[in-house]
Amino acid sequence: MTATDVPHGTTPAVSERTRAHIEATERYAAHNYHPLPVVLAEGEGAWVVDVDGNRYLDCLAGYSALNFGHSNERLVAVAREQLGRLTLTSRAFFNDKLGGFAEALCRLTGKDMVLPMNSGAEAVETAIKVSRKWGYEVKGVPAGQATIITMEGNFHGRTTTIVSFSDDDVATSGYAPFTTGFRGVKYGDIEAVASAIDETTVAVLFEPIQGEGGVVMPPEGFLRDLRALCTERNVLMVADEIQSGLARSGRTFACDHEDVVPDIYVMGKALGGGLYPVSAIAADHEVMDVITPGSHGSTFGGNPLAAAIGTEVVAMLEEGTFQRRSTEIGELLEAGFSPLVGRGLSEVRVRGAWAGIDIDPTLMTGRQMSEALMARGILAKDTHGSTVRFAPPLVASDEDVAVLVAAVTEVLTA
């Protein structure tokens, strides 16, 4: 049974099959997530099917990892072909796919070099290391004193270093001592950034759109002002485009909305097409040349399978169709959700195929909204109490978006 064979509808009570999968996962896998009670088994395009044959519209898309949809034919074909040839050599040797991938990603970003890794958190860690080393070797910051400015409400991952500058109590509680060298400022406040910069500052790390925060955007002009400030003060502008990039926001990168080019792009999620973990940073020689043999690496980073998939992802993005479709989806989401402000929603934020809705907390929580949507064949994720994010795959049809809008409207107005 495929995703296209199963009609969508309301979700019945949890079956014995579903319960068995959930119980096994809860018993043997660490409880670092609180999933909705649905067990997915298949996916095609914007739709997924659970183990009982129920069909759902995927409005999370793997936190933007599935921008091109489930089981994208082009990406699956490339991955299948590469699986039969060569998957891993480690960087102890060259392989015949990495060079082409690096060239393509440099072309997409306009940068001189890329450094491939695997997960998004690894890419952020890589950007931090490169920024610090650049600060010592190029800018001349005294050894051991480099500082990086971060933004309140950020989400860059959950490694020990990254949670060191998180203000999420759940992500930080019980994990001290933390890594020093970070200064947090209010998101979108250029004056706060300027005041925090001193002679030890090597970089400003930020998300052009805060996805985990609920699709939160800085004030218009902030990115341009930040670019000018970083140039003036000789500080690296480091854009975490892991969720916001690669067509999610309607442009190739969210920074493109203000025609801004950061010193370092941080990429992940959709770079692997939802098939395989692929991440990277991209920068020019002045920055990236601080990396020397043995100073940073990864067994799987830049492996042939990852490179083959990533190269095809870049080719798809260069066509521009996904960026245009993202914009179209955003227009539909804006038109559908905006009339609900004052009718159960307190605020709606949309940028491309990415929306955050704030629910009147007296009405329901974000978790309750997510559960009610699941019962109507929609999968979404709450964040920060009364906020729900929607990020459907960019292959979603107009009819798919209409199904989403109708379900949200029904939940709020029932």
Catalytic residue among 50, 58, 240, 400: 240
Question: What architecture does CATH give domain 16-28+39-71+321-413?
Answer: Alpha-Beta Complex (3.90)
Distance, CA of 72 to CA of 353 (rounded, Å): 18
Q: Three-state DSSP class for 59? A: coil
* Sequence-ordered strand ranges (E) for 176-261: 182-185, 201-206, 236-240
What Rg do the C-alpha atoms of the chain give, in angstroms? Answer: 21
The secondary structure of residue 183, as a DSSP letter, is: E
Q: 414 falls in which pLDDT band (50, 70, 90)?
A: confident
Q: Which of 122, 147, 125 is nearest to 136 (CA)?
A: 147
Largest CA-CA distance found in the chain, in angstroms, rounded:
63
pLDDT of residue 13: 74
Domain coordinates in residue numbering, the chain: 16-28+39-71+321-413, 73-318
pLDDT of residue 67: 98
Q: Is 269 a catalytic residue?
A: yes
Span 388-406, pLDDT tens digits: 999 999 999 999 999 999 9
User: Is 255 within 8 Å of 208 (Cβ atoms)?
Assistant: yes
Q: 5 falls in which pLDDT band (50, 70, 90)?
A: very low
List, in order, residues 6 or more apart from 321 with CB less than 8 Å away: none
Backbone angles phi, psi at 357, to 5 degrees: -120, 135
* Sequence-ordered strand ranges (E) for 217-286: 236-240, 264-267, 279-283
Average confidence score pLDDT of the chain: 96
User: Is 268 within 8 Å of 279 (Cβ atoms)?
Assistant: yes
Strand order in the sheet with 47-50: 40-44, 47-50, 55-58, 378-379
Q: Is 358 a catalytic residue?
A: no
Q: Give me 359's structure tokens.
A: 């629910």
Catalytic residue among 155, 165, 222, 337: 155
Q: Which of 277, 201, 212, 268 is nearest to 240 (CA)?
A: 268
Percent share of the chain, pLDDT over 70: 97
Q: Three-state DSSP class for 252? A: coil
Q: 2 falls in which pLDDT band (50, 70, 90)?
A: very low
User: Is 65 within 8 Å of 272 (Cβ atoms)?
Assistant: yes
pLDDT of residue 384: 87
Q: Which position has the token pair 């994720």? A: 381
Q: Quick one: the chain helix, strand, coil %, rounded to 5?
A: 40, 20, 45
Distance, CA of 264 to CA of 146 (rounded, Å): 17
Span 284-339, pLDDT tens digits: 999 999 999 999 999 999 999 999 999 999 999 999 999 999 999 999 999 999 99
Characterise 116 by phi-psi region: left (phi > 0), alpha (psi -120 to 50), beta (else). beta
Q: Is 129 a catalytic residue?
A: no
> Does residue 11 surpass a pLDDT of 90?
no
pLDDT of residue 10: 44
pTM of the model: 0.96
Q: Where are the alpha helices (DSSP H) in 320-388?
A: 321-337, 366-374
User: Is 259 within 8 Å of 114 (Cβ atoms)?
Assistant: no
User: Is 389 within 8 Å of 381 (Cβ atoms)?
Assistant: yes
Catalytic residue among 97, 133, 269, 381: 269
Backbone angles phi, psi at 339, to 5 degrees: -65, -10
Q: 269 falls in which pLDDT band (50, 70, 90)?
A: very high
The answer to whether domain 73-318 has CATH 3.40.47.10 is no
AA identity, residue 310: G
Residues 358-362: contacts with CB under 8 Å, at least 24 apart:
358/214, 358/386, 358/387, 359/386, 359/387, 359/388, 359/412, 360/386, 361/385, 361/386
Q: Give me 2's structure tokens.
A: 């495929």
The secondary structure of residue 111, as a DSSP letter, is: -
Backbone angles phi, psi at 7, to 5 degrees: -70, 145
The arithmetic mean of pLDDT across residues 184-204, rounded, is 98
> Does residue 276 surpass a pLDDT of 90?
yes
pLDDT of residue 8: 35
